[in-house]
Amino acid sequence: MTDAPLIPTGGRVLAAIDASAHARGVADLAAWAAQRLGVPLDLLHAIERDPASTPPADFSGSLSLGSQEALLAELAAHDEQRGQLAQRHGRALLDQIRAHLRDTAGLEAEPRLRHGALVDALTDVEADVRLFVLGRRGAHADGASGHLGRNLERAVRAVHRPVLVATRAMQPITRFAIAFDGSATARRCLAMVAASPLLRGLDCHLITAGREDAYAAERADAIAELSAAGFQAQTHCVDGDAESVLPAFLDSHAIDLLVMGAYGHSRIRSFIVGSTTTRVLQTSAVPVLLLR
C-alpha cells in the first residue's frame, strides 16, 4: 500500500465566481494558478437562495379557498421568474469572466452553473479539484470592510484542498512569504510548497513571529528543505504577535502572496474563526494561500 501524495497531483483549479467586486480578481488569480500548475480552469457560479426571498407569514387560515389558490399560484410564478432571472444572470456573469480571461490570459475556462449553497457545490466537486480560489468577501459583503464573507469561512472549514484567497485586484506575483512557527502544521505546509510547481522560481521568504532564537532548529531544517527544492529562502524573525507582525512584514517587504497553514496550535495558527488567520485575511492586501 502506497502513501497518499502530499499534495494532489491531478485535478483542476476551480474559481468561485459571484457578482462581487472580487470576481475579476478571483478569476485573474485562478488563471495565474492554473497556468503555473499546467491544469485546466473551471469557473463556478452557485445560485443560492436569496435570504430576502423568505416566504411571508402564513395567513392562509384567514383566506378563502379561492384566495389561497390564487396567492399560491402567484407566489409560484414569482419564484419561477426569479429562478430564470438568476440563471440568466449567472450565465452572463460566467460568459463575461470567460471572455475577460480569454482576452487577458489566453485561457479558455470551463463554466459551471450550480443551484444551491456554494459550499455544497465545492464539496461535491472536490475530488476533481487541485486548488480552490475564492474571494475574501462575496456579493453580499462588499460594504463590510474588515469582515470575511460567510462562504469563505464555511468553505475553509469544509474542503480539504488548498484554498487561495484573492483580494480585489490581481497584481503580479514574484515574491511570497511562508508564515512559519515550527509546528507540525507549518512543517507540512512548507513541504507542500516545496513539492508543488505553483511557487517555484519565485522569491521566497520565511517569517517567524517571536524572538530571534524562536524555533531555530526547525527554521534551519525548513531552509534546508526549501533549498533542496530549489528555493533560496530568506529567513526573518520578527518580535511581536503574528496578527500584527504579518501584515506589517508583507507591506515592508513588498510581499505579493502569503502562505499559511489552515490549522495549527501555535502563535501563527489558523483555525478560521477568532484566530490569527482570520485577522490576517481581514487586513492583508495580498492573496493568502491556505494549506493543510
- % of the chain beyond a pLDDT of 90: 50
* 245 residue type, one letter: V
Q: Over 80: is that where the pLDDT of 266 sits?
A: no
Instruction: Please tell me the total count of domains within the chain.
Output: 2
CATH classification of the domain holding 159: 3.40.50.12370
Put simply, whether the predicted model's pTM sits higher than 0.75 gets the answer yes
| Distance separating alpha carbons of residues 179 and 210, to the nearest angstrom | 12
Asked whether residue 57 is domain-assigned, the answer is no
One domain, residues 105 and 26: yes
| Strands ordered across the beta sheet of 203-209 | 110-115, 41-47, 12-16, 129-135, 163-166, 288-291, 257-261, 175-179, 203-209, 234-238
Clarify whether residues 145 and 131 are in a common domain: yes
Task: Say yes or no: 242 and 198 in one domain.
Answer: yes
In this prediction, residue 270 carries a pLDDT of 38
Residue 82 lies in a domain: yes
Q: Say yes or no: 30 and 100 in one domain.
A: yes
Which of 143, 169, 195 is the last residue in one of the domains?
169
Confidence of residue 254 (pLDDT cuts 50, 70, 90): very high
The answer, yes or no, to whether residue 75 has pLDDT greater than 50, is yes
Task: Please state, rounded to an integer, the average pLDDT across all residues of the chain.
Answer: 82
Same structural domain for residues 122 and 10? yes
Provide the b/e sequence for 135-152 (b: ≥16 CB within 10 Å).
Answer: bbbbebbeeeeeebbebb
113-146: pLDDT as tens digits? 999 999 999 999 999 999 999 998 655 544 444 5
Same domain, 45 and 81: yes
If asked whether residues 267 and 153 sit together in one domain, one would say: no
Tell me the residue range of the domain where 134 lies: 1-50+69-169
| pLDDT at 287 (0 to 100) | 95
Whole-number Å distance between alpha carbons of 134 and 287: 10
